[in-house]
Chain A
């Protein structure tokens, strides 16, 4: 079945460091891929998405490219801020409408 694997956290970085959170997936067909973010005490928010191979999703300085050849959708940001501290979830949507989530990666950014 469909599944998402993402790197375990926590990821601890200093402000302005470069961020990568790895995400790989297993799916039949051509899924849509998403990154969601969950700030402390808040609900899940869509960060970015990509619906076909080679698409790049971007938002708030974060980027992720849909790589079908490596079945990956790694999240990157060139310079993180303290306010980026949150839990990040990679997810896919396949032929059904339901989202399949990874286990989440906690990012902690220190000044």
Chain B
């Protein structure tokens, strides 16, 4: 597609519920990133894929967070047993190529997760 597509746009989850957030990157983009943006804050890095390989997951806040990109295209961020502190906007970004290039990242509009 023309841009990075994320779904759902909004998600309300009851505390303890599992959620799955989807990201469709721009076709052919090798790199894919997930970020978490709390209200009034800048985006915080969660994890990074190059094709299907998860190269960096150092930003995942706990083992309740899991991300996958099995075919090197669509990615899913899963949060198990959601807590109120998980409430945030989850942003996905993709990029054409990997390191040391001048390509920027294209961000999706995000999924706003509210845990009640």
- Is there an interface contact between B104 and A104, defined as CB atoms closer than 8 Å? no
B residues contacting the other copy or chain, number (CB 8 A): 26
- Is there an interface contact between A98 and B108, defined as CB atoms closer than 8 Å? no
A99 partner, pick from B105, B106, B108, B110, beta carbons under 8 A = B105
Number of A-B contacts (CB under 8 A): 58
* A25 in the interface (beta carbon within 8 A): no
- Is there an interface contact between B104 and A46, defined as CB atoms closer than 8 Å? yes
A101-B43, A103-B41, A103-B42 given as contacts; is B104 within 8 A of A96 (CB)? Answer: no
* A79 in the interface (beta carbon within 8 A): no
Contacts of B109 in A (CB 8 A): 42-43
What is the minimal beta-carbon distance from A64 to any residue of chain B, in angstroms? 14
- Is there an interface contact between B98 and A44, defined as CB atoms closer than 8 Å? no
* B62 in the interface (beta carbon within 8 A): no
The docked-state distance in angstroms from the alpha carbon of A32 to that of B100 is: 9
* B56 in the interface (beta carbon within 8 A): yes
What is the minimal beta-carbon distance from A94 to any residue of chain B, in angstroms? 10
A residues contacting the other copy or chain, number (CB 8 A): 23
Contacts of A49 in B (CB 8 A): 102, 104
Greatest chain B CB density within 10 A among A49, A89, A99, A100 is at A99
- Is there an interface contact between B107 and A102, defined as CB atoms closer than 8 Å? no
- Taking beta carbons and an 8 Å cutoff, which residues of B are in contact with A? 4, 31, 33, 35, 40-45, 48, 56, 59, 91, 93, 95, 98-99, 102, 104-110
- Taking beta carbons and an 8 Å cutoff, which residues of A are in contact with B? 4, 32, 34, 36, 42-46, 49, 51, 89, 91, 95-104
